[in-house]
Structure 1
């Protein structure tokens, strides 16, 4: 049996072998992923290659651009292409192959060809967004009105993702004590089944639209290359046309997926998604507080106005009473005068009428008729008005204006 090698010895052997077999610099085509730089100016990134048909990753390698090279390479590339040196672009770089006993295989970048333009990932994103725009659905979800109180949240995430736990913790421990109801719709957030899994979750939510106010799609950290599942047409089209506002927190600050572009609101992290919902609730609460304060101030102002009005009315009561009494006194005096005049006028009219009646009575009195030459014939004190009332030999008396004559009937003539 040969003497066994330690792991370090084996890695050292690999390092020497690679140095001997691949001693030169090589131009390599690859897509950038997970590009980041630190305070020292070094750039650490990931090179990836995808299958043209399935879009699955078929190769991956760590890369490093040291500060002395990156300080020249980045502005040179961005000025020449107008494209930021960031994840999602396809590049042609000159590299050397490195192997470290502890950190393993990596590529060190020394140069870049700026004529090699944007890669498949960025181009595919542009094409998807253009297609959605042509179909008229690109901004549909953004045009939805976010509920004033988004408390019922449908969450699409991996149940084991740290981001999901951070999201729930942030909601549950908000400083204002707002209540949120969340329901998880589990989905795979990395790998080849991201699209299928998230679409299934959206379908499940769509069957219960009345139960939720908004949808949150969140994912924890991870490499930029793991975000490729969120750059598909079907997923973007479904989210763009979804009837509830969609909030995404699936990437890093430096990443922007197609799904982010069509969602109602895009935030950086799951925690930021929770903060967005809390802020929305705080805005509503502040608005209610302002309305309550305005109502209180309005009520106090109205009470003060009514108090002043009552005070003015109270002060006016004596003068109003005196004024009304004076007016009533004048009305009584006027009524008294009018009554006196009316009674006087009535008495005058009635006196005149009595005088007329008296005159008529006087004119009809027997004495008056006797004075005019008429006479009254009486028999036994009763007035005789017809000769048929008398018989021959009856004694009658005739009353004149002056005196009275007694006679005996000795014949009579009866007029027919």
Structure 2
């Protein structure tokens, strides 16, 4: 049997010869465009696909290309006639030549296009779904949700083996600010007929634990546009549009936009771009917290200084009043003593016979008056001291409460919650674009510092 075997090259050469001999030079083909892209030389590469009536099962697929000089003319002709860009998801009628290469296999080279045969089943289906979602009043519901601050508890829907999922985790884990993200994977099938029900099931599991998460991320690596058809599903789009948590998508390249992207809270190009969005959101939150903390510290410090000045003035004023009152009382006692002395001398002169009795009576009277005045002075002094001590105690309590409040809002206390500060030359780094390769930076934790060099 080995004597009759042919090499692969010989087999492909035979196929090429048969195709060239039995097929016409040009053929008009009905198909749908997919994965349309233009390289830097102006050549257009795409796929032609055909699905069954349900729009789910793939019936046929072929590589296609349009050379740059032909594409320049056909693109202008097509877009001028249809008023829409030549892109993926269009039903087209194209004239092609069939090429078969021994290495690259079968491909269709486009030479002409009929603009009247335009919008494909994918685009029609997408437009119908968007219209239905808008009529149901749910098209923009998820976009109206506010992203929590901070948003670092993330539920992830992805294939556990997808490279995009690994890129997403790597980007989050290696962020320059040292932010901590808590992610939980809810595995799902991300392409094929089962992807719709698999993703909806993952959403239902997240819904049962929605209090544990700030947002939902749906990510998938790149690929052909034809592989993204499951994301143009009404049931999936409606489930995401009405989900109680913000949904962030990163399920394709920049040129691919699905119905799910349109209804989601935020659409990013790729899984890595989703991670960058979350990091930027955390960075903005950290800056706001830092500014808020600095403002509070400044306000509290100023308030403490003002209260200290008021307390000092109050103590000085009370001391001055007390000393003045004591001087007045001493002057009053001295004056009373002089008056009593003069009266006593007068009485002695006028009543020399009753001097002894009168002298005793005056002495008792003087002692009573002096004792009464001294008691009054003591009571007034004690009352004034109690008032002064109580006022000082109240002010001390206010100062203590202000100091505790300041400690709770201090940067050191915030660091103990898991946040970090990145310093360069003694200044806080607020944006990664201020860093250059070779810069020495210091990451401040609650229990110490770590020096690093930017690579």
Task: State whether TM-score is above 0.5.
Answer: yes
The reply to whether residue 125 of structure 1 matches residue 126 of structure 2 is yes
The reply to whether residue 26 of structure 1 matches residue 1 of structure 2 is no
The reply to whether residue 147 of structure 1 matches residue 148 of structure 2 is yes
User: What secondary structure, in the 3-state scheme, does the structure 2 residue paired with 1:222 have?
Assistant: coil
Q: What is the alpha-carbon distance in structure 2 between the residues aligned to residue 187 and residue 268 of structure 1?
A: 20
Query: For 1:300-311, what aligned pairs fall within 5 Å after superposition?
Result: 300-303=301-304, 305=306
- The equivalent residue for 2:103 is 102
What stretches of structure 2 of length at least 5 have no aligned partner? 344-455
Judged with a 3 Å threshold, the aligned counterparts in structure 2 of structure 1 residues 104 and 297 are, in CA distance, closer, same or farther, namely same
Query: For 1:286-301, what aligned pairs fall within 5 Å after superposition?
Result: 286-301=287-302
Query: For 1:320-331, what aligned pairs fall within 5 Å after superposition?
Result: 321=320, 325=324
Deviations 1:303-358 (A, max 9, x none): 555566678789x869x94998499859978xx89xx9xxx9xxxxxxxxxxxxxx
User: What secondary structure, in the 3-state scheme, does the structure 2 residue paired with 1:115 have?
Assistant: coil
Q: What is the alpha-carbon distance in structure 2 between the residues aligned to residue 94 and residue 102 of structure 1?
A: 24
Count of aligned pairs:
341
- The equivalent residue for 1:262 is 263
Structure 1 residue 99 displacement after superposition? 0.5
- The equivalent residue for 1:276 is 277
Query: For 1:337-356, what aligned pairs fall within 5 Å after superposition?
Result: none
Judged with a 3 Å threshold, the aligned counterparts in structure 2 of structure 1 residues 236 and 304 are, in CA distance, closer, same or farther, namely same
- The equivalent residue for 1:35 is 36
- Looking at CA atoms only, which structure, 1 or 2, has the larger radius of gyration? 1
Structure 1 residue 299 displacement after superposition? 3.3
Structure 1 residue 95 displacement after superposition? 0.7
Q: What is the alpha-carbon distance in structure 2 between the residues aligned to residue 159 and residue 64 of structure 1?
A: 34
Structure 1 residue 47 displacement after superposition? 0.6
Structure 1 residue 243 displacement after superposition? 1.2
Judged with a 3 Å threshold, the aligned counterparts in structure 2 of structure 1 residues 309 and 139 are, in CA distance, closer, same or farther, namely same
- The equivalent residue for 2:60 is 59
> Is the deviation greater in 51-60 or in 103-112?
51-60
- The equivalent residue for 1:236 is 237
Judged with a 3 Å threshold, the aligned counterparts in structure 2 of structure 1 residues 71 and 323 are, in CA distance, closer, same or farther, namely same
Q: What is the alpha-carbon distance in structure 1 between the residues aligned to residue 219 and residue 50 of structure 2?
A: 26
**8 Å Cα contact 2:138-2:242 kept in structure 1:** yes
Structure 1 residue 207 displacement after superposition? 1.6
User: What secondary structure, in the 3-state scheme, does the structure 1 residue paired with 2:185 have?
Assistant: strand
**8 Å Cα contact 2:252-2:269 kept in structure 1:** yes
User: What secondary structure, in the 3-state scheme, does the structure 1 residue paired with 2:255 have?
Assistant: coil
Deviations 1:14-45 (A, max 9, x none): 11211122232122111110111111111110
User: What secondary structure, in the 3-state scheme, does the structure 2 residue paired with 1:142 have?
Assistant: helix
- The equivalent residue for 1:71 is 72
- The equivalent residue for 1:115 is 116
Q: What is the alpha-carbon distance in structure 2 between the residues aligned to residue 165 and residue 321 of structure 1?
A: 75
- The equivalent residue for 1:192 is 193
User: What secondary structure, in the 3-state scheme, does the structure 1 residue paired with 2:6 have?
Assistant: coil
Structure 1 residue 108 displacement after superposition? 0.3
Deviations 1:149-193 (A, max 9, x none): 222211111111000111111112222222222111111111111
- The equivalent residue for 2:253 is 252
Q: What is the alpha-carbon distance in structure 2 between the residues aligned to residue 283 and residue 246 of structure 1?
A: 19
Deviations 1:349-399 (A, max 9, x none): xxxxxxxxxxxxxxxxxxxxxxxxxxxxxxxxxxxxxxxxxxxxxxxxxxx
- The equivalent residue for 1:206 is 207
- The equivalent residue for 1:84 is 85
Q: What is the alpha-carbon distance in structure 2 between the residues aligned to residue 322 and residue 216 of structure 1?
A: 71
Judged with a 3 Å threshold, the aligned counterparts in structure 2 of structure 1 residues 160 and 332 are, in CA distance, closer, same or farther, namely same
Structure 1 residue 289 displacement after superposition? 0.5
**8 Å Cα contact 2:55-2:121 kept in structure 1:** no
- The equivalent residue for 2:383 is none
Q: What is the alpha-carbon distance in structure 2 between the residues aligned to residue 295 and residue 32 of structure 1?
A: 59
Q: What is the alpha-carbon distance in structure 2 between the residues aligned to residue 144 and residue 321 of structure 1?
A: 63
- The equivalent residue for 1:178 is 179
Structure 1 residue 297 displacement after superposition? 2.5
User: What secondary structure, in the 3-state scheme, does the structure 2 residue paired with 1:293 have?
Assistant: helix
